[in-house]
Amino acid sequence: MSTRVMLCDDHPLLRQALRRVLDEIGVETAAEAADGAEVLRLVDAAAESGRRFDLVLMDIEMPYRAGLDLLRRLRGESPRLPVLMLSAFPDKQYAVRSLKLGAAGCLSKGADGAQFQQAIRTVLAGGLHIPPDVGAQLDGALARRGRAPLRERVSPREYEVFRLLASGRTVAEIAGLLHMAVAEVAQCRAQLLEATGVRNDVELTLYAVREEMV
């Protein structure tokens, strides 16, 4: 079975160039998306058909839904799907934010074909592609994040969900209390499990007790 990759960018010429890069290393461009809504639709359709993608190449600036927001959503719903983020911006903070949110790597759109191919090979092999000039900054950012209290590492809404989960509320109950969609609460829960390093609601409650948060 061939390796299936989805290209996500609103510029047709860039998608065309990326298709050539993938063709040269024998990787199939299984789908293309020009905006955020299409990304989610194609990922869901692939999952339903049983032909999931092996990798998503995604622009950090997607129309209708920002790339970082899409990345957060994909990590919550498809945690095993690697996402390689592409950026036209030189600011290293975009790369650091992407990696902290769970991206499998980040790459400048200005990279040459060989750099693209190396990044794709690394991620498909299960590794992380981190540009050398980002490594030191990422280490510092993650170290600071690990030392910070949970309240500072998650959004206010995620913290509300955390407190309710730790008090024994179900996802459906929390959705009603906070006027959120059940899927949105479930996504918050997945992000909280990742942020705290626990595996389920019981361990989440124990975490809250240990940290004297309830």
Give the pLDDT score at 25.
92
What domain count does the chain have? 2
pTM score, two decimals?
0.63
Same domain, 24 and 64: yes
Whether 109 and 168 map to the same domain: the answer is: no
- 134 and 90 together in one domain: yes
Q: Are 27 and 100 contained in the same domain?
A: yes
- SS3 string, the chain, reads CCCEEEEECCCHHHHHHHHHHHHHCCCEEEEEECCHHHHHHHHHHHHHHCCCCCEEEEECCCCCCCHHHHHHHHHHHCCCCCEEEEECCCCHHHHHHHHHCCCCEEEECCCCHHHHHHHHHHHHCCCCECCHHHHHHHHHHHHHHHHCCHHHHCCHHHHHHHHHHHCCCCHHHHHHHHCCCHHHHHHHHHHHHHHHCCCCHHHHHHHHHHCCCC
Same domain, 47 and 117: yes
Give the model's pLDDT for residue 143.
Answer: 45
The tens digit of pLDDT for each residue in 41-84 reads 999 999 889 899 999 999 988 777 777 888 888 888 888 889 99
Query: In terms of domains, do 130 and 172 share one?
Result: no
- State the pLDDT at residue 1: 63
pLDDT confidence of residue 146: 47
More confident residue, 12 or 207: 12
Q: Which domain holds residue 83?
A: 4-143
Mean of pLDDT over the chain:
83
Q: What is the pLDDT of residue 205?
A: 82
pLDDT of residue 92: 62
Q: Does 161 lie in the same domain as 181?
A: yes
Q: Are residues 93 and 173 in the same domain?
A: no
Residues 115 and 64 in one domain: yes
Question: pLDDT-based confidence at 18, cuts 50/70/90?
Answer: very high
Q: Report which of residues 133 and 141 the model is more confident about.
A: 133
Q: How confident is the model at residue 144 (pLDDT cuts 50, 70, 90)?
A: very low
| 111 and 184 both lie in a single domain | no
Which residue did the predictor score with more confidence, 94 or 125? 125
Looking at the structure, do residues 123 and 86 belong to the same domain, yes or no?
Answer: yes
Do 11 and 111 have their domain in common? yes
